[in-house]
Amino acid sequence: MLSEDAAWDRVAGCMHGLLIGDALGCPVEGWTPMAIERRFGTLINYEHVPGPHWRPRGLHSDDGQQALAVADAIALDPKAPEREFAKLLVALREAGPQQVGRWGLHRGVGSNLRQTVRGLMAATKDDPLAFGVRSGGNGAAMRIAPVGLWWRDAPSKRDHFAARISAVTHSDLRGIGAAQAVAIAVSEAFWEPPLPILRPEFVGAVERARCRARDTLELPDDRRFGDLLGALVEHRARCDDLNELLDGIAERANATGGAHGTVKATNGFAPCSVLTALTVADLVPEFERAVITAVNLGGDADTIGAMVGAIQGARRGLGQIPERWLDGLHATGSIFERIEALFWREPGPAHPPLVVLEGNLDRLFEDRPRTIGRGLSELSRTRGLGSS
């Protein structure tokens, strides 16, 4: 049994770890490992996002924003957090104009999220699950960690609410099941000592979660994510080489995952990047080394970094996170009331409100350099090598 202090440390480690992994990976999202190596050697510190989508060092993106929205939504209404989550997505959009790299206060969101939010904004009835996109992407998994924290000792509720919060944006059991897997990995971090992640019992827990999601959301059954997870666990049992495991993830996802086109292990497709994050978190036990490994894989580096940071932060605690990363994260110091709410499971509004918090962070863009041409040149030199 964890002491209160140890459990609080893991809640704080999870939330900070998610934001750190996101902020560290943002500048190299879409890059190849070779491009990262040529530019940085090994990326170990925050960098600004260059070019027209300039973003300051140490600032989280949509991954972190939506994770904070999930945490706030749960505290606002633990019985129906999906409704509050949908409202927060709309509020972030309505809080500001569309700008380069930002959509309201949303930073770096894709077309599927925009489609969902536009639907919610135009809706004539209160149904937060009416506009989920049939997508096998990792957008639900990247934000879901607070569900694993709040319901860390209540598996059926964890699985139920992970599914419903995911369903605000996703109506595909691959994306929803992947999110449930991350929530399960986070909640299992509160076992003492934490067990290995990639083991048969974990596959069984994800399978039970999928069945709950299928039934509560009345979706057609889809076992593909669970089957791919099971194959990964079998592979992991006989292999501890990361590159070989990632090759296997990509090969199986292309063969049976239902991807559109050829995908790599670091692709935003959930049966790729979520399994990659679980693999890195399982294979690399130290927080710092795990997050560095994750973001230097390139591809969807911010999301993989966020998931690995959340899982390893929950497993290792705030005390194992390097001070330079905590000091350089713009959100550090602004989320402790949210951590308290998640730890004590205390319902109520967050302070500062999410729109206020993100509005304050949005002012960092006033420091945007005027030498955008130089940033464009830098971007073309690095990303011109191709993207994952």
Q: 352-378: per-residue pLDDT in tens?
A: 999 999 999 999 998 887 644 444 444
* Top-confidence residue, 75 or 98: 75
Distance CA 100, CA 93 (A): 14
Averaged pLDDT, 57-77: 99
Crossing angle (nearest 10°) for helices 287-295 and 301-316: 170
At 166 the three-state DSSP class reads helix
pLDDT at 182 over 60: yes
| 342 occurs within a structural domain | yes
HSE of 151 in the Cβ direction (CA atoms, 13 Å)? 22
Kind of pairing between the strands at 106-107 and 98-99: unpaired
Q: 146-166: per-residue pLDDT in tens?
A: 999 999 999 999 999 999 999
For a pLDDT cut of 90, what percent of the chain falls above it? 89
Q: Which residue has the tokens 């993207």?
A: 387
pLDDT for the residue numbered 370: 63
| 388 occurs within a structural domain | no
Domain hosting 277: range is 4-383
What pTM does this model have? 0.94
Distance CA 138, CA 148 (A): 16
Q: 22-56: per-residue pLDDT in tens?
A: 999 999 999 999 999 999 999 999 999 878 888 99
At 33 the three-state DSSP class reads helix
pLDDT at 387 over 60: no
Range list of H helices, the chain: 4-25, 33-40, 62-76, 81-94, 111-122, 145-150, 155-166, 173-188, 200-217, 224-237, 242-256, 270-283, 287-295, 301-316, 323-328, 336-344, 354-362, 372-383
For a pLDDT cut of 70, what percent of the chain falls above it? 95
pLDDT for the residue numbered 103: 95
Q: Which residues pair with 102 in a beta bridge?
A: 99, 107
As annotated, the binding site for Mg(2+) includes 61-63, 300, 302-303
pLDDT at 11 over 80: yes
pLDDT for the residue numbered 368: 80
Q: 83-137: per-residue pLDDT in tens?
A: 999 999 999 999 988 887 899 999 999 999 999 999 999 998 889 999 999 999 9
pLDDT for the residue numbered 99: 83
Distance CA 83, CA 147 (A): 15
| 17 occurs within a structural domain | yes
| CATH number of the domain that residue 215 is part of | 1.10.4080.10
Averaged pLDDT, 316-322: 98
269 pLDDT band, cuts 50/70/90, is: very high
Contact assessment for residue 13 and residue 314, using Cβ atoms and an 8 Å cutoff: yes
pLDDT for the residue numbered 50: 79
Q: 247-256: per-residue pLDDT in tens?
A: 999 999 999 9
380 pLDDT band, cuts 50/70/90, is: very low
As annotated, the binding site includes 61-63, 300, 302-303
Q: Which residue has the tokens 């194992």?
A: 320
pLDDT for the residue numbered 372: 45
189 pLDDT band, cuts 50/70/90, is: very high
| 223 occurs within a structural domain | yes
Q: How many domains does the chain have?
A: 1
Averaged pLDDT, 239-249: 99
Averaged pLDDT, 57-66: 98
Q: What is the DSSP letter of 192?
A: S
